[in-house]
Amino acid sequence: MFALYPAIDLRGGRCVRLYQGDYDRESAYGADPVAVAAGFAAAGVRWIHVVDLDAARTGEPVNRPVIAAIAAAVAPTGVKVQASGGVRDQASADALFAAGVERVVIGTAAVERPQLVADLASSRPVAVGLDTRAGYVAVRGWTEATGRRVADMLAQYQDTGVAAVVVTEISRDGTLAGPDLDAFAAALEATAIPVIASGGVGALADLETLGRLRAGTRRLAGVIVGKALHDGLFTIEEAVSACARCG
């Protein structure tokens, strides 16, 4: 099943989007994050992807109460929350699980402390978040390059019990310019872990293209969509339908 993960990016308690990961190029949306999440849930999604941009950049989980409120609002509908941003130790992961999050995404710490991924994944649903530019991984809210290739990073998580890997192509994120199909196909080829694509979706056709993307017998497990939904380029109902058509 090709799953839609509508995104809610949080900064200072507000819904925002960054352009190509640049914190100085932010678009703020006036909607209440909890109300946005409730609208997504009412449209029939199974997951909502929430990012604490402040925590991703500084490690300070200033948006955790908002994440907890989102999880509480959608729990009665059966919708699950996948959360990322600033998860750099056991305690921060545990705090998100306690807040009602179903799956925690580990980014910077997954690169710098891969054993933390294995330890957490042994008992809880964990995803690895790899933010990439031209095939290389960046960390700390996309602000620092590592010089490490995506394929090499994916290989080391293969047998750790990770539930999914979220691959975000930073150069496309927030641009609405279309997804980097080559980057996502390369990720599918590099790992047997389910891959969730993120970055660049600007039209319903992009969702269908990603849903049809194959690397051998492998296909994407899902797609994260943010700016296109918040800018009203298509509705959440249309996006749910487009993903459902992909099977």
pLDDT at residue 244 greater than cutoff 70: yes
pLDDT at residue 17 greater than cutoff 80: no
Candidate list 52, 131, 180, 206, residue with the active-site label: 131
Closest by Cα among 132, 189, 136, 191 to 158: 191
Question: Could you tell me the CA-to-CA distances from 124 to 12, 118, 220 in Å, in that order?
Answer: 28, 10, 22
Q: Please state the CATH superfamily assignment of the domain spanning residues 3-245 in this structure.
A: Aldolase class I (3.20.20.70)
pLDDT mean across residues, the chain = 89
| Buried b / exposed e along 16-51 (16+ C-beta atoms within 10 A) | bbbebbebeebeebeeebbebbbbbbebebebbbbb
Question: What is the structure's pLDDT at 166?
Answer: 96
pLDDT tens for each residue of 160-199: 999 999 998 888 877 899 999 999 999 999 999 999 999 9
Please give the Cα distance from 200 to 135 (Å, whole number). 16
Query: Where in the chain are the domains?
Result: 3-245
Residue 204 Ramachandran class (φ > 0 left, ψ -120 to 50 alpha, else beta)? alpha
pLDDT tens for each residue of 50-107: 999 888 777 788 899 999 999 999 999 999 999 998 898 999 999 999 999 999 999 8
Burial of 104 (0-12, 13-18, 19+ CB in 10 A): buried
Candidate list 9, 54, 173, 206, residue with the active-site label: 9
**Can you tell me the mean pLDDT for 5-24?**
72
**Can you tell me the mean pLDDT for 218-238?**
95
231 is catalytic: no
9 is catalytic: yes
Please give the Cα distance from 132 to 124 (Å, whole number). 25
Output the furthest CA–CA distance in the chain (Å, rounded): 43
Closest by Cα among 3, 29, 12, 4 to 227: 29
Please give the Cα distance from 60 to 10 (Å, whole number). 13
